Amino acid sequence: MRQGVQGSAGVAAARVPSQARAADVERERGAAAGAARGEHTHGEQPIPCPGDDRARPAVQRSSVQRSSVQRSSVRGQIVDALRTALVAGELRPGEVYSAPALGERFGVSATPVREAMQQLALEGAVEVVPNRGFRVVERGTRELAELAEVRALIEVPVMLRLARTVPAERWAELRPLAEATVRAASSGCRATYAESDRAFHRALLALAGNEQLVQIAEELHRRAQWPLVGGPPGVRGRAELVADAAEHVALLDALIARDVDVVRSLVGEHFAGAS
């Protein structure tokens, strides 16, 4: 396990405008004593593949930009960018990353980065290393298999029940999401595919009308997309992503046809190869 703090990691990062940074720097002065630590937080909202211009956080500028709304916006964008970098393999398992160094990469102070990393710590993606930063959690194939098993236990019965009760026209409304996963897979970008994959599964489960179910399944799904220790960035190649996306389309076709046997088979295979 490497212990060095990564100051120049190839994080999918884009720079946040200087006005946002200035506002954060003021707050950072008051917390200078703890600048090298990683604590306190919240955030949300995903973005495309690293290197894509769309992945660049854009902070709205206004005369009221010093408010907590602005801080929340910057922090949320950093969370999104870090999640993307994690899925893409740019934040490597076992590596330690400091908030100040990542702040330099993003063009913001260490405070929103520290808060964003704390959110990832709450999600189980990283762990706090006192006075140094955050270490990306190491996980192996056993954890991946366990996550797939738990997801199957939760989602398969729900999908089979929905297959018998949801009318064909409701399933047909999800066609654009299934096709979006195919396009994302074709791009070969693991981070872009991960987001569209979650969106499709989220929409399927939402038809059950159980928000708690959707949230729990989403969290498990996100964890299943983190890279494995020792694995290269983007463990799944384009061909594998395309095959995974094709299962979404086939599953939707089976749901529209109310072919429960095919649905059961497809869902079982899908979770068996889930990542």
- Burial class from Cβ neighbours inside 10 Å (0-12, 13-18, 19+) for residue 173 reads exposed
Instruction: Count CA within 13 A, CB hemisphere, residue 150.
Output: 16
Q: Are residues 26 and 109 in the same domain?
A: yes
Q: Considering 114, 136, 158, which residue would you say is the last residue of a domain?
A: 136
CA angle 194, 16, 54 (to 5 degrees): 40
- Of the three residues 136, 159, 190, the one that is the final residue of a domain is 136
Domain that residue 93 falls in = 18-136
Evaluate whether residue 152 is within a structural domain: yes
pLDDT given at position 25? 46
Side-chain half-sphere exposure of 263, counting CA atoms within 13 A: 21
Mapping DSSP onto H, E and C, the string for the chain reads CCCCECCCCCCCCCCCCHHHHHHHHHHHHHCHHHCCCCCCCCCCCCCCCCCCHHHCCCCCCCCCCCCHHHHHHHHHHHHHHHHHHHHHCCCCCCCEECHHHHHHHHCCCHHHHHHHHHHHHHHCCEEEECCCEEEECCCCHHHHHHHHHHHHHHHHHHHHHHHHHCCHHHHHCCHHHHHHHHHHHHHCCHHHHHHHHHHHHHHHHHCCCCHHHHHHHHHHHHHHCCCCCCCCCCCCCHHHHHHHHHHHHHHHHHHHHCCHHHHHHHHHHHHHCCC
In a domain, 125, yes or no: yes
Of 119, 136, 153, which marks where a domain is finished? 136
Residues 205 and 131 in one domain: no
The CATH number of residue 65's host domain is 1.10.10.10
Give this prediction's pTM.
0.69
Same domain, 196 and 156: yes
The Cα–Cα gap between 183 and 167 comes to: 26
pLDDT tens track, the chain, 275 positions: 444 444 444 454 445 544 444 445 444 444 444 433 443 333 333 334 544 444 444 333 333 334 444 556 888 899 999 998 888 888 889 999 999 999 998 889 999 999 999 999 998 899 999 989 999 998 888 988 999 999 999 999 999 999 999 999 999 999 999 999 999 999 888 889 999 999 999 999 999 999 999 999 999 999 888 877 665 444 457 788 899 999 999 999 999 999 999 999 999 888 876 64
> What is the Cα–Cα distance from 234 to 243, expressed in whole angstroms?
15
Given this model, what pLDDT does residue 72 score? 63
Same domain, 68 and 129: yes
Q: Could you tell me the CATH number of the domain that includes residue 154?
A: 1.20.120.530
The residues facing 136 across adjacent strands are 126
Both 163 and 95 in one domain: the answer is no
